[in-house]
């Protein structure tokens, strides 16, 4: 049964826009956390469809004429691909699996961009067979390998991923625009220029532009402004030295979101205005045609639309801490263990005690590092059976989940206007055992 609740949730920036609260419970898309947990079990990922669509539309309004390709690595399923296709988005994929799912879900090949620092021959063949719009070249050896696979009398559009030498992102593990890392080709060392010339020399390849990706969870437009300055200077050099004018510039993604109260997401309207202004000014400086922009947001589209629900199993007091252990953990959300990520945690389903206490929310997996949220405030009467909700859970959680300890991955349920539907079903023990052949030799 759906319930209409009128009160906006506190810390609204970190919750889906449809979230409302009443008497200690939350509704998302018109459905309460209690009814969702009872119907689908926990752990559970809830994704607000309308929030995703509204965010897509906000991007399109802010960036008219810009090609927008959703970064599939953030989260991908067939239902989501349908929403994105209907909202005029393309897809950025980086594996044969993501490519296969995208095309199965009806995304036109020309709206797909294939990435990857180490693409296999099978992945390149699949991209060619399915007619992807662009393949992003990440290393010199890939240029000849791809060219050899293109059918006679055909040409494949490609971009060259370059490294502008700009560090940006919330953690060193997700900064990809600086020198001396596995992605892209250095502008400063001359590798990028050499790759463009090699690609231009291949009759079966059609270089259309440059691609760069600075990192993830970036909250300020400043790194992109610096990147635009570097990339336009490089484009002007290609024209002046070799007569090459590339018509496209892909600035990647990495647009930051809010995970906790007081944090602020990247302002997409300010990003759009500032980047366009910088691009026009720099191109005018070099008398260079303004290239067509492409951006690849991922986390910013689905992250704020998702909520993770967990059931409390154990409350344990030690000499120095109170541990609240839930039925999920690092296998379904590895971000805290990988990056030290911190998120909001809230008791839902009932009013809590007036007083709070500092606790550490941990998972059920056999690792002492299985911590979802360290030193957070929860009502002092939190107890086994309670529901906890963690917002901003729609990106880089389900997509990075594992089956550690042979525990299946949680389902993803879409909600909208008081209705729900399963996008990804829960992975059961039978699914996990099905891969084991039982062979003794």
Per the listing, tokens 């690595």 go with 73
Q: Is residue 394 within 8 Å of 305, Cβ to Cβ? A: yes
Query: Which position among 56, 94, 212, 366 bears the catalytic label?
Result: 366
Residue located via tokens 């209705």:
419
CB 245 within 8 Å of CB 239? yes
Distance CA 259, CA 152 (A): 50
Phi/psi of residue 69, each to 5°?
-120, 120
Surface-to-core class of residue 25, CB atoms within 10 Å of its CB (0-12 exposed, 13-18 middle, 19+ buried): buried
Nearest CA-CA partner of 431 in 414, 412, 406, 411: 406
Measured in whole angstroms, the distance separating CA 224 from the mean position of its chain's CA atoms is: 18
State the burial class of residue 275 (Cβ atoms within 10 Å of its Cβ: 0-12, 13-18, 19+).
buried
- Per the annotation, the verdict on 366 as an active-site residue is yes
> 83 CB contacts (<8 Å, ≥6 apart)?
49, 52, 53, 56
User: What sign results for the dihedral spanned by CA atoms 184, 190, 193, 195?
Assistant: negative
Residues annotated as part of the active site: 366
């Amino acid at each position: 049964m759906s319930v209409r609740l009128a009160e906006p949730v506190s810390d609204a920036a970190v919750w889906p826009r449809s979230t409302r609260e009443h008497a200690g419970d939350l509704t998302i898309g018109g459905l309460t956390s209690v009814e969702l947990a009872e119907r689908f079990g926990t752990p559970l990922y809830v994704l607000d469809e309308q929030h995703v669509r509204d965010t897509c539309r906000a991007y399109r309004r802010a960036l008219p004429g810009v090609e927008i390709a959703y970064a599939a690595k953030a989260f991908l399923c067939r239902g989501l691909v349908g929403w994105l296709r209907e909202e005029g988005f393309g897809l950025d994929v980086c594996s044969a699996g993501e490519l296969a799912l995208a095309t199965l879900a009806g995304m036109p090949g020309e709206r797909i961009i294939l990435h990857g620092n180490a693409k296999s021959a099978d992945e390149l063949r699949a991209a060619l067979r399915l007619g992807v719009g662009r393949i992003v070249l990440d290393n010199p050896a890939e240029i000849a390998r791809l060219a050899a696979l293109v059918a006679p009398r055909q040409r494949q559009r490609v971009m060259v991923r370059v490294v502008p030498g700009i560090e940006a992102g919330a953690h060193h593990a997700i900064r990809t625009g600086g020198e001396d890392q596995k992605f892209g080709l250095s502008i400063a060392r001359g590798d990028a220029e050499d790759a463009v010339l090699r690609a231009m020399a291949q009759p079966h390849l059609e270089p259309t532009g440059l691609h760069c990706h600075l990192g993830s969870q970036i909250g300020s437009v400043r790194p992109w402004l610096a990147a635009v300055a570097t990339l336009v200077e490089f484009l002007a050099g290609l024209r002046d030295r070799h007569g090459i004018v590339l018509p496209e510039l892909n600035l990647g993604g990495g647009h930051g979101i809010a995970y906790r109260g007081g944090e602020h997401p990247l302002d997409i309207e300010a990003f759009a205005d500032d980047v366009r202004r910088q691009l026009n000014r720099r191109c005018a400086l070099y008398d260079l045609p303004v290239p067509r922009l492409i951006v690849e947001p991922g986390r910013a589209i689905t992250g704020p639309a998702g909520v993770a629900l967990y059931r409390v199993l154990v409350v344990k007091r030690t000499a120095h801490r109170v541990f609240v252990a839930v039925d999920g953990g690092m296998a379904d959300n590895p971000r805290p263990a990988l990056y030290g990520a911190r998120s909001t945690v809230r008791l839902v389903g009932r009013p809590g005690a007036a007083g709070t206490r500092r606790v550490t929310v941990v998972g059920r997996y056999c690792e002492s590092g299985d911590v979802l949220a360290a030193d957070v405030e929860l009502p002092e009467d939190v107890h086994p059976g309670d529901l906890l909700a963690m917002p901003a859970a729609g990106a880089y959680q389900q997509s990075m989940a594992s089956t550690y300890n042979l525990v299946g991955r949680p389902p993803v349920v879409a909600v909208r206007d008081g209705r729900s539907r399963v996008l990804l079903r829960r992975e059961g023990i039978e699914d996990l055992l099905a891969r084991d052949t039982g062979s003794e030799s």
